[in-house]
Structure 1
Amino acid sequence: MSLEAFNQNLLSFLAQSPTPFHATAEMANALKATGFNQLFENETWQLKPQQGYFVTRNDSSIIAFTTGSENYTQQGFRMVGAHTDSPCLKVMPNAERYQQGYFQLGLEVYGGVLLAPWFDRDLSLAGRVSYTSKSGKLKSKLINFEKPIGIIPSLAIHLDREANNNRSINPQKDIPVILGQLPKDKTNVRQLLLEQLHQQGAEDAAKVLDYDMVCYDTQLPGYIGLNQEFIASARLDNLLSCYTGMAALLTAYQQDQQQPMLLVCNDHEEVGSLSACGANGPFLKSTLERIVSTGEPLTVCLENSLMISADNAHGIHPNYADKHESNHGPKLNEGPVIKVNANQRYATTSETSALFRWVCDEVNVPVQTFVSRADMACGSTIGPITAGEVGVRTLDVGAPTFAMHSIRELAGSQDAYALCKALSYFMQLQQLPHQ
């Protein structure tokens, strides 16, 4: 696949994935189209050699794998991990607000949101809705309003003369989204969702019981820069890695039917990963046990495996270069970044880092390194959590980006493609170099 084709597919994936539910559905569709078979956790699995399979949990996490020659213990798995969730504003359960004649929704902050960029954006709603059908059955469906239906207006500077010097944001008071001027006795959230269900094909929906709905920016992903050097989009952290990992898996699977490979994309990383479908839950380990077996076979398999946790890295910002360690400032479009932290906030070791450098050399991909300033704390990823839960050697890498956790982030237009080349080569390794 060419660089341009890869990026166009990435932009399309980002646009179609306003929530972890939609991202998981998009990946499931792409896997099915490439011949992967869907498995269900409440059924017995009958796996065959040289096949591709995938399984989802909570509609928001997904594991895809290939069986190869089924020699799991000696070959091990080549694994890539990412996460489907992004910091956002989530609609509260009883969200209705009626103030000064405006219909608003109360919002809850999900994850480490950079709040200021959410003001004055054209917002829409998307998520999963659970409802009863006219026949009394409990069902759920993904919905997306798509068009702009909400906005969080800024307070005019005339009413806050210190806005450019010292404006703080109170998420309880300042961020309820305005949906319009509607009569209080005519509209509520569940009625809006019921009408949207009907519009999107769930004509049997009778009553909305509950929902997971979030606001998102309707501005489409696209290129930025005089020479299209950059990609701008919401949710680059970490849907860029989800798409890149999936593209690498599909490319590797089409070229190699012998090596077992696995992609895991977990939800809830931005809030600590502790959930049934998060990296700090049992999803990956229970899936591996069903594929390989428990006890010694799985232990040997994991010793012969390696996990690459892919999550975006902080590119050195030209306006804030002093926020970076002077010898570890990754630049956009200069290759994927190895993320290192002495306190195990990243899972990288010198051994796993060396292997990734070797992989990048083999496919002529440049590689960079990120270490936080010694006087600043860094974030974390699913890497250390997965390593601790499963016991597999792991390293953390990612494409360098700006504005992480903003409503619109920025990445280099060459880096995801370069990372995909490295991951695809890694997934096809019949034997790790150290073995």
Structure 2
Amino acid sequence: MTMMTREGPEPAHRLLDFVNASPTPFHAVAAASALLEKAGFTKIHEQDDWEKDVKPSGKYYFTRNQSAILAFTIPKGWQPGAGLSIVATHIDSPNLRIRPVSKRSKLGYMQVGVETYGGGTWHTWFDRDLGVAGRVVVADKSGNFHTKLVKIDKPIMRIPNLAIHLERGSADNFKFNMESEFVPILALEHQLNAKGEDTRSSQTSPSASSIQANHHPALLKLLATELSVAPETIHDFELHLFDVNKSVLGGLNSEFVFSPRLDNQFSSYCAVEAIANFASSSHFAALEGNVACISLFNHEEIGSVSTTGAESSLVPFLLQRLSPAPGAYAQSVARSFLISADMGHAVHPNYASKHEDNHAPRMNGGVIIKTNAKQRYASDSVGSFLVKKLIEKRNGKVQEYEVRNDMACGSTVGPFLSKIGVRTVDIGCAMLAMHSIRETAGSYDVQNYIDLFEEFFAGFSTLDKSLSFE
């Protein structure tokens, strides 16, 4: 009996599995944690005195607020003052988030109030099958409280378009009010009433920590059923809407990834797989040099300003805890190098004029070096050269990207992290429809990314020693 093989590159299928399991940053952290533990990484906690337990040839990771994760390996012969080779990404994406008070009803429709997060291409959210996922705070029978992840992977909501017959004057120039015309429908009130379900809250004088009156009882009941708890034990939540249609490979030769959240779970997954592969390799067992590190941040889409964002203490605290003496800390910063990995804009065949003629990256064309004279990207010539040499060692290809002078440049975690003093380069892989509910990237670029990151962890320290400044 012959085994069936999946069409397209196998690393891309592993990316699909990761994205399909990760509708929120909470789920992405959980999925990354599982992959790291499978590769032998030990979980540590920021509040603990873990420095005394960290040993050469060790593999460790920790999370913060369940929505950011940092993993690192300690090389043989490691001493305080050693540098870090860091790949930094973000795991948040533009989406819709249920409001703290979401209960809305109009004309017999039960609706759910939502807030936009990040700079989404919001018209792509119309007529989509929307599920709900996130983090829920529940009470147990002992009076203690726990957070539980929930993923309702079925279409329970939709934002219907207005029929073209009712909007003939502006159908070709679609505009809508983000507050009043962008509200998902959950159910019809009379259908629930016909089933004997009360659409009113059962609590007339709720306690301060109760949210029962803030949301439709039917929504809370659905969450409770999914979590196997009673609705009244739910005390708070952070819930995101997501497209329940699965990520897939597409194109005539499976050369594309059609998926939500590729910006930037594509980069994040590749960073996790690369450090897991590296930590399981013979290179790691024999290597002396930098600490290999990945850091997957939250809140990049809204400016990185949070306890789990790139402007937080996650990376600085790791540098300090590994090299606590002031002199050793400064040495570690000087010896470190950071790759900021975020997706880039592929040239669009229908909108070629949106790219500068000589800076038009292609999907599956290799890793992009991002440069911006205004320092919206943190790359410089020396850092870019080092990254190109690492790619060259794996026989990879390099593409260049600079934005046109008549267009604004996007941002990444790179400039925020470069403030620490660590040398930083911004890179990406090419994709189309960034910030749409369904994006498109190249399936073969998954391996291109992984190759670079593995070579970075294995070979940067040696390469860096070959470079001097006059």
Q: Which residue of structure 1 lines up, in the alignment, with residue 337 of structure 2?
A: 306
Residue in 2 that maps onto 1:96: 103
Match of 1:146 in 2: 153
Whichever residue aligns with residue 238 of structure 1, its letter is N
Distance in 2 between the 1:370 and 1:126 partners? 35
d(CA) in 1 for partners of 2:373, 2:391: 23
With 64-73 and 14-23 compared, the bigger mean Cα shift is at: 64-73
CA positional deviation for 1:131: 2.2
* Structure 2 contact 29–69 (Cα < 8 Å) conserved: yes
1:272-291 map, 5 Å: 272-291=303-322
Instruction: Tell me if 1:413 matches 2:413.
Output: no
CA contact (8 A) 1:338 1:368 kept: yes
* Cα distance between partner residues in 1 of 2:110 and 2:380: 52
Distance in 1 between residues matched to 2:442 and 2:346, nearest whole Å: 10
Taking a change above 3 Å as real, the CA distance of residues 70 and 129 of structure 1, as seen in their structure-2 partners, is farther
Quote how far apart the aligned CAs of 1:167 are.
2.4
Preserved CA contact (<8 Å) 2:89 2:340: yes
Q: Distance in 1 between matches of 2:307 and 2:114?
A: 24
- Could you tell me whether the CA contact under 8 Å between 2:80 and 2:322 is conserved in 1? no
Q: Does 1:215 align with 2:256?
A: no
- Of 164, 176, 179, the residue aligned with 1:169 is 176
Deviates more, 1:424-433 or 1:379-388: 424-433
The answer to whether the Cα contact below 8 Å between 2:56 and 2:78 also exists between their aligned partners in 1 is no
CA displacement 1:272-294 (0-9 Å, x = unmatched):
00111110111211122122224
CA deviation vs aligned residue, 1:406-426 (integer Å, no higher than 9, x gap): 000000111121111011111
Tell me the equivalent position of 2:207. Answer: none
Alignment of 1:366 with 2:397, yes or no, is yes
Whole-Å Cα distance in 2 between the matches of residues 111 and 44 of structure 1?
A: 36
* Residue number among 22, 26, 33 corresponding to 1:21 in the alignment: 26
Letter in 2 for 1:297: A
The Cα shift of 1:297 comes to: 0.7
Tell me the equivalent position of 1:130: 137
Matched, 1:434 2:438: no
Q: CA deviation at 1:149?
A: 0.7
Aligned letter for 1:247? Answer: E
Q: Are the equivalent residues in 2 in contact too, given 1:124–1:216 (CA < 8 A)? A: yes
Q: Deviations over 1:185-237 (max 9, x none)?
A: 26963745653454345537742222111110011001111111100100000
CA distance in structure 1 between the aligned counterparts of 2:345 and 2:336, rounded to whole angstroms: 28
Going from structure 1 to structure 2, the CA distance change for 1:294 and 1:276 (only over 3 Å counts) comes to farther
The 1:159/1:97 distance shift into structure 2, 3 A limit, reads: same
Name the Cα RMSD after superposition.
Answer: 1.8
Specify the alignment match of 2:66 in structure 1.
Answer: 59
Query: What amino acid is aligned across from residue 408 of structure 1 in structure 2?
Result: R
- Does the 8 Å contact 1:115/1:169 carry over to 2? no
Are residues 1:236 and 2:267 paired?
no
Q: Is the 8 A contact 1:63 1:262 kept in 2?
A: yes
Alignment of 1:8-407 (within 5 A): 8-45=13-50, 46-69=53-76, 71-72=78-79, 75-182=82-189, 184-185=199-200, 189=215, 191-192=217-218, 194-203=220-229, 206-255=232-281, 256-257=284-285, 258=287, 259=289, 260-388=291-419, 390-407=420-437
CA distance in 2, matches of 1:200, 1:352: 48
Question: What whole-Å deviation, never above 9, does each CA across 1:76-130 have from its counterpart, x for those lacking one?
Answer: 1111000010011111110111011111111111000100110001110000011
Q: What SS is found at the alignment partner of 2:171?
A: helix
- Structure 2 unaligned segments of length 5 or more: list them: 1-5, 194-198, 202-212
- Rounded to whole Å, the distance in 2 between the matches of 1:158 and 1:192 is 33
Residue identity over aligned pairs, in percent, reads 38
Instruction: Give the deviation of 1:41 after TM superposition.
Output: 1.3
| Contact 1:346–1:384 (Cα < 8 Å) also in 2 | yes
The secondary structure found in structure 1 opposite 2:258 is strand
* Structure-2 separation of matches of 1:33 and 1:162: 57
AA at the equivalent of 1:416: V
Q: What letter matches 1:434 in structure 2? A: L
SS of the aligned residue for 1:360 comes to helix
- 1:245 touches 1:263 (CA, 8 Å); kept in 2? yes
Q: Relative to 1, partners in 2 of residues 1:70 and 1:82: Cα closer, same or farther, differing over 3 Å?
A: farther
1:125 match: secondary structure: strand
SS at 2:153 equivalent: coil
| Distance of aligned partners of 1:192 and 1:33 in 2 relative to their CA distance in 1, 3 Å threshold | farther
**1:194 touches 1:207 (CA, 8 Å); kept in 2?**
no
Q: Is the counterpart of residue 4 in structure 1 residue 42 in structure 2? A: no
Judge conservation of contact 1:401–1:410 (CA < 8 Å) in 2: yes
Q: How far apart, CA to CA, are the structure 1 residues paired with 2:376 and 2:218?
A: 42
Q: CA deviation at 1:68?
A: 1.1
Q: Which amino acid aligns with 2:246?
A: L
| C-alpha separation in 2, matches of 1:287 and 1:127 | 28
Distance 1:336 1:269 in 2: 21
The AA in structure 1 aligned to 2:91 is T
- Residues 29 and 204 of structure 1: is their aligned pair in 2 closer, same or farther, counting only changes over 3 Å? farther
Deviation at 1:400, TM superposition (A): 0.3
Report the alpha carbon displacement of residue 180 of structure 1 after superposing the two structures with TM. Answer: 1.0
Please identify, of 151-160 and 167-176, the stretch whose mean Cα deviation from structure 2 is larger. Answer: 167-176
Q: Secondary structure at the match of 1:420?
A: helix
Aligned length: 433
Aligned letter for 1:35?
G
Q: Distance in 2 between matches of 1:190 and 1:347?
A: 46
- Between the aligned partners of 1:38 and 1:202, the Cα distance in structure 2 is 27
Give the whole-Å Cα distance in 1 for the aligned partners of 2:49 and 2:148: 25
